[in-house]
Structure 1
Amino acid sequence: MTVELPVKKLSDYSVFAKDDVEKIFEIGKKMKGLKVVHVNATAYGGGVAELLMTIVPLMRDAGVDASWEVLEAPMEFFNVTKKLHNTLQGADIEITDEEWALYEKVNEENAKKLNLDADVIIIHDPQPAYIPLYKSGNAHYIWRCHIDTSTPNLKVWNRLTSKMNMYKKALFHIMDYVREPFDKIAVEFPPSIDPLSPKNREMSKEELEKIAKTYNIDMTKPLITVVARFDPWKDLFSSIDVYRKVKEKFDVQLAIVSAMAKDDPEGWIFFEDVLRYAGTDKDILFLTDLKGVGHLEVNGIQRLSTIGLHTATREGFGLVISEMMWKQHPVVARPVGGVKIQIDDGINGYLRNDVNELSEAIVDLLSNKQILEKMGKNAKEKVRSTYLSTAHVKRYFEVIESVING
């Protein structure tokens, strides 16, 4: 399925990153008309989809003929790829021969029916990773991995990657995730946020007050906010534990913000478990798309926040960290995956491990408004200089150019 895309203009981003915009246009002139297709699992409900909704239109504006295709697959396929995702992050789960066969069959079917007539095809994550096996032509393939593969289940990793030797480059959030057979073609490739998207644009006082009223956010209380999928790796139980410890010293609220992704059937089960764990505490707010929370609402909730919290035990990158930092709030988080390169400990947030340490860090920030504000300013500048969409498009163009030129 071809995803319908909005129109975005690179010139609108010059106010944030003029040098990057100029570099993108410079490379874009050399690649004008080049056909580039991105392929992933879903058009909504996940970080990859959000990225592509900005990245692909900006590539187009620079002169590249870019498009975005999404897999067409039954729910049984997504049950298998969820297991695949978890095993690549280290879970000890068995994937049967029948499940592997379904995985390969869906990839073969999609290779035939998706619009993949292109010079460069960028495959995102494991779901469509085998499409190149069933597609003839002279396209250059790039694999973009958004998962923490630092300690994968080796049985699954070796079986998956044994048929992935057609890729010219493999892009990982951080080099810690790189393993054979990609060590010689790997590129460090952090993702980005779109400062002009509904999720990150500036908002008026009236808009924020409306969101606060709609979702029962008490603007007189400090708000700790977690933005994460309902996924065991996010450890939302620890988020609730941290909140409860902070609550012993400060009258705070906790917002757990999430979207129920199409390609994550396991998420519904975990959602119910977390709800039960939270109990009837009215200061724990579950704010999801089931209650009408879209990108603009997430933006507003983050701006109404005091501190961001992230308790994931494994994390590919954790772009929600940059989103919160862009709103000028420090984040307290576990030092996992890409989180630890976004947060500079003691400068724009705190990196801590257990529940006691995380709660103590939040208490320290709530106890010192001057440090809280200073870290917030540092947080926004870190994102502006490193993790905006323009830097991301520039990185893509540089990689594509290197692949085309051999």
Structure 2
Amino acid sequence: MKVQLPQKSIKDYLKIAKEDVEELFEMAKDLKDLKIVHVNATSYGGGVAELLYTLIPLMNNLGINTQWEILEAPMEFFNVTKKLHNAFQGAKVDLIDEELDLYVKINKENAKNLDLDADVIIIHDPQPYLIPIFKEGKYIWRCHIDTSTPNKKIWNKIIPMACDKYSKALFHLEEYIQKPFEQIAIEFPPSIDPLSDKNKKLSKDQIQKIAKRYNIDLERPIITVVARFDPWKDLKSAIDVYRILKEKSDIQLLIVSAMAKDDPEGWILFEDILRYAGTDPDIHFLTDLKGVGHLEVNAFQTISTAGLHTATKEGFGLVIAEMLWKGNPIVARPVGGIKLQVIDGYNGYLNTEVNELSNALYKIISDKSLKDELGKNAIKSVKEKFLTTSHLKRYLKIIKEVI
């Protein structure tokens, strides 16, 4: 299934990243006759879809014919691939023969039915990983999850099935690279789009209307967590941090999320977290079920006093860069790609324990000059490393190498 995409112009980024844009025009000259296809599991919910909504239109705007194909699959398939996702991040799960057979079957069907006649095909994450077995082509595997300590039993069962079909394998961090990808793997951090609805500057009126619609008090400190309902996000710890902090400061906690199509486990966790939070009126659950879209997420991040991220595993965590881009410090656990984005004491604080996270947030809430300094550094750190234009340059470089 193809995805309908918005029109975007690379020239719109000149004011933000002039040198990157000029370099992109030069790099694209040699790639104009190519066709590129990206394949992933869903067009909505989660960081991969958001990345592609920006990168693909910009590749087309540079004159490179780029398409986006979505897997066609039943929910049973996504139950299996969620297992793979968790196993690749180190969870102890089992994969029975029937589940593996379904995984192979759906990949084979999609290899036949999707439009994959292209010069380079970029496969995102485990869901479509086996497609190259059934369709010839030049393939890149783009892994968006934390594979630093995978469940070796599952990893060694799945990865060898198709690894020799890939020309390159892209991982967020060098520490995620595992056998047998060492010779073709590249560290490849993702990015945020500064002009998207989620990251563009909103008017004061827009922000106030959104805050009022969701009963958020702009006069009191706001701590915001943006995360899927996933066991690795450890949202119960976020609520624990809030409860400790609530004893010292009259704060509000915003838990912002989207219910992704390819994550059936998310609905179960959503209900569990709701029960854990209880009836506290200052804990706001803000999801697409309540009409929360990208503009609303933008507003919630913009009005935040600070961001909180309690994940115990994290592929990269683009929500961190998004919050930093709004000029707000982040308090987070030092896992995965968060360690690249949050520099302890510079644009936020890194801690592991709930009490330490709470203390760091209290420090920010209590000292406006500290918050302002951390916030200024936050914007600077994202501009230097994690914007769309630098990400796009990395992609064009890899595509040139593959062809």
1:143 aligned partner: 141
1-side partners of 2:44 and 2:331: how far apart?
27
Q: For residues 125 and 25 of structure 2, what CA distance do their matches in structure 1 show?
A: 28
Matches within 5 A, 1:6-21: 6-21=6-21
* 1:224 corresponds to: 223
SS for the counterpart of 2:37 is strand
CA RMSD after TM alignment:
0.6
Q: Which residue is 1:23 aligned to?
A: 23
Letter in 2 for 1:152: P
TM superposition shift of 1:370: 0.4
Partner in structure 2 of residue 51 of structure 1:
51
Aligned partner of 1:290 in structure 2 is 289
Partner of 2:374: 375
Indicate the residue corresponding to 1:154 in structure 2: 152
Equivalent residue for 1:70? 70
The residue that corresponds to 1:183 in the other structure is 182
Structure 2 spans left out of the alignment, 5+ residues = none
Looking at structure 2, the residues matched to 3 and 365 of structure 1 have their Cα atoms a distance apart, in angstroms, of 42
SS at match of 2:345: coil
Structure 2 equivalent of residue 308 of structure 1? 307
Q: Kindly provide the CA deviation profile for residues 169-224 of structure 1, in whole angstroms up to 9, marking residues without a partner as x.
A: 10000001000000111111011111111101110010000011001110010000
Letter of the 2:270 partner, please give it: F
String of CA shifts for 1:324-358, please: whole Å, max 9, x gaps: 00000000000000000000110000010010110
Identity of aligned residues (%): 65
Quote the offset at 1:33 in angstroms. 1.9
The alpha carbon displacement at 1:368 in A equals 1.1
After TM superposition, give the deviation of residue 365 of structure 1 in Å: 0.9
Give me the TM-score of the superposition, normalised by structure 1.
Answer: 0.98
> Secondary structure of 1:162's match?
helix
2:232 aligned partner, one-letter code: W
Amino acid at match of 2:380: E
Q: Where does residue 319 of structure 1 map in the other structure?
A: 318
Superposed, which structure 2 residues align to 1:335-374 within 5 Å? 335-374=334-373
Q: Which amino acid aligns with 1:384?
A: K
The residue matched to 1:225 in structure 2 has which SS?
strand
Unaligned runs of 5+ in 1: none
Q: Deviations over 1:19-76 (max 9, x none)?
A: 1111111110011121100000000011100000000011111111111000000000
Q: Please give the TM-score of this superposition, normalised by the length of structure 2.
A: 0.99
**1:174 counterpart residue number:** 173
* Structure 1 residue 244 displacement after superposition: 0.7
Q: What is the one-letter code of the residue matched to 2:123?
A: I
SS of the residue corresponding to residue 285 of structure 1 reads strand
For the residues of structure 2 that align with 1:345 and 1:33, how far apart are their CA atoms?
Answer: 45
- For the pair 1:117 / 2:108, whether they are aligned, the reply is no
Structure 1 stretches of at least 4 aligned residues deviating more than 2 Å after TM superposition: none
Q: Report the 3-state secondary structure (helix = DSSP H, G, I; strand = E; otherwise coil) of the residue aligned with 1:15.
A: helix
Deviation string 1:69-126 (CA, Å, 9 cap, x unpaired) is: 0000000000000001000001101011110000000000000000111000000000
